[in-house]
A and B are shown apart, each in its own frame.
Chain A
């Protein structure tokens, strides 16, 4: 028990902070923050597997998050029949062409010995393939995008329940990670960071500009939800009864019937949004707990020991007969798949897919700060990092505003510096996060909860 004291203390402080937000701001805001904390926690578990367990630096988290989001659209949105009729066949042929390209390249790589001619052959396959793709897809894309461009203009998805998309997101992200890993994992650490950063940028720019796939920057809104809708809740009797029971003490104080009804209505509206968020919290918490148990078991299994050995000394581990390349690829895929789940969860939570909002600042670097602040190589630490940093990211602006008002209280309302500072309060979040990272890196490089190695 004693070894967990600091974990328990850290988490208690964190939850106390969230509860404080609930009391001082509102419960709805507190739950929104909590939900995002949980999503961030899933991302940090993914990043921590790669960085903490294996020492692989992946600055492409944004790309996997976006792919997870794309999975929600591809799985849960109802298929657009008209679009499939006008362009579906061509797009399917394109898919076939891509598969054909991949297999012919693989075949060439295997059967022909390394030579200049082989390189020329591969280049020729790629160029011919791309030309074919352009020829086949160009008219189809035009047709698809012409189908009710204001509402659809894309192929739509499979129309399955949205929870399936979380798994699909994991597979999509894992698939991309396989390709990226094959290409880039041989690189040195800082090259790998830059390469993954740029590949993620390519992925996002494809999602942004291929409108037939997921409407690009026109966004997909009104995605399905695994939780009830507020408006339905507000009309169902059982929910109103529940709210009435919950607030019976408060309601009993009001005498007039009409006033009572009004107060009750307001309470029901507030409660419905809290209820929906609680549903999401439950779902996210389940995912986090499952992932935590699995990763924790993996960390202390022989496999986890092997990963640490590879991380600490690649040559020695290789000499002991461990396949370093294969294990690196495996862990790269696993970590990215978890990030993919997080991406799908986030889009499900928001109910909309906005490719334009995927920016490396928010989806790569902030996640990295979370992992480093929380504690690399320690799952509890990584999750805590997700909570702490997300909390700072959201609450930095109100806190900054409070301090600005405090320090400029003696200045008149119209003072230029004061107005300027108040307007730039939202940017203090960058300052807070940056300083948090620098301070942790300097004074506690292992993070708030450092890695713990249990020796039996």
Chain B
């Protein structure tokens, strides 16, 4: 019984939150990796682009709520995804047309493009703050919990409760669907194959008649969909605040590099690696050990490896270690 209680504690406080957070990071990391693999630069505007898509979801949610529309037990934000994604793709294509395309045609070095993306980051942040302001906003409605701790205790008769928030379930399910569709697209369709070819060897791909404009267009569209979904899921789960989205760029980069930048599957797993590391290393295991160890050995400290203040530092340290020992990432990079 104690053993099951211990497992429930771990599930409740580490595994489910880590899966949720990992899914959100994974979507962002695939976004980074796609841009890196096909357009060949590190996009420093990642966090703010996600924020831009989410901003529309927030505004549309408020609008739909004012019209009295809702999805019952599901959050209203889900119906805003198509529209928000559309706005986001439109914005990205504009940015690409007016900013990135010039450097791509000139074949500028990646560093220059990265620098340009810093400019895009500033502009995007400004637009977001001018439109919606820097305040913290929640836009979650509908049913909050799928399973409450008290219900779970009643159901199973255990000491520990298991809580599953609806946002956690929604995040994991939507991520799985979105990512599977994306992998199917990349691996099975002709356009996806041409994208992979373009990423692998640009000159050869061009020789075999692949239209670079089309590849770039499709990349931005897929990236826009992923970024918006990732941003909305994060905002639903926590809350929407532009500054936090900017900061999220850092663990997202860490996830993308840990997974091998340029490799979407690596980025997907990298998101979970970072999330699990962050949560496992900063969780206080006292309760867990109280259940699992005999009474005599009961721990009297918090059994916490690092204080939660260093949550971000954990992911960055992992990144530094990976860069030191395996610069191409855990799952070899550059194989879209």
Contact = CB atoms under 8 A, between A and B. Distances in A.
Given A189-B111, A193-B114, A201-B316, A427 B129 contact: yes
B226 to A, nearest CB: 20
Contacts of A189: 109-111
B150 to A, nearest CB: 35
Contacts of B299: none
Interface string A349-364: 0000000000001000
Contact of B123 (A186, A365, A435, A441): A435
B142 interface: no
Q: What interface size band does chain B fall in?
A: 35 or more
Interface in A219-256: none
B323 interface: yes
B123 A205 contact: no
Contacts of B118: 365, 368-369, 437
A430 interface: yes
Interface string B305-335: 0010110110011011001100100000000
A3 B123 CA distance: 35
B11 to A, nearest CB: 27
B323 A195 contact: yes
Nearest to A432: B126
Contacts of B254: 198
Interface string B177-209: 000000000000000000000000000000000
B122 interface: yes
B50 to A, nearest CB: 16
A424 B129 contact: yes
B182 to A, nearest CB: 23
Contact of B327 (A191, A193, A202, A431): A191
A430 B246 CA distance: 13
Q: What interface size band does chain A fall in?
A: 35 or more
Interface string A184-225: 101101110111011101100110110000000000000000
B319 A205 contact: no
Interface in A83-122: none
A191 B323 contact: yes
A424 B133 contact: yes
A427 B323 contact: no
B136 to A, nearest CB: 16
Contacts of B327: 186-187, 191
Interface in B197-240: none
A202 B324 CA distance: 16
A70 to B, nearest CB: 17
Interface in A162-193: 183-184, 186-187, 189-191, 193
B328 to A, nearest CB: 10
Contacts of B317: 202
B112 interface: yes
Nearest to A372: B115
A205 B120 contact: no
Nearest to B113: A190
Contacts of A197: 250, 253
A430 B116 contact: no
B329 to A, nearest CB: 10
Given A427-B129, A431-B126, A190 B120 contact: no
Contacts of A442: 99, 102
A433 interface: yes
A428 interface: yes
B313 A427 contact: no
Given A193-B42, A430-B125, A434-B120, A209 B309 contact: yes
B257 interface: yes
Given A201-B312, A438-B119, A183 B130 contact: no
A416 to B, nearest CB: 13
Contacts of B133: 423-424
A431 B313 contact: no
A445 interface: yes
A57 interface: yes
Interface string A429-456: 1110111011001100100000000000
A430 B123 contact: yes
Nearest to B40: A190
* Residue among B41, B42, B115, B246 having the largest count of chain A Cβ atoms under 10 Å: B115
Given A187-B327, A194-B42, A430 B111 contact: no
Contacts of A445: 112
Interface of B: 41-42, 44, 99, 102, 109-112, 114-116, 118-127, 129-130, 133-134, 246, 250, 253-254, 257, 261, 307, 309-310, 312-313, 316-317, 319-320, 323-324, 327
23 contacts: A187-B323, A189-B109, A194-B253, A195-B320, A197-B250, A197-B253, A201-B313, A202-B312, A202-B317, A205-B309, A205-B310, A209-B310, A361-B125, A365-B121, A365-B122, A369-B122, A423-B133, A427-B129, A427-B134, A434-B122, A434-B125, A435-B119, A445-B112
Interface of A: 57, 183-184, 186-187, 189-191, 193-195, 197-199, 201-202, 205-206, 208-209, 361, 365, 368-369, 372, 421, 423-424, 427-431, 433-435, 437-438, 441-442, 445
Given A209-B310, A368-B115, 20 more contacts: A183-B324, A187-B327, A189-B109, A190-B42, A190-B114, A191-B323, A202-B316, A202-B317, A365-B118, A365-B121, A430-B123, A430-B129, A431-B126, A431-B127, A434-B119, A434-B123, A435-B119, A438-B99, A438-B119, A445-B112
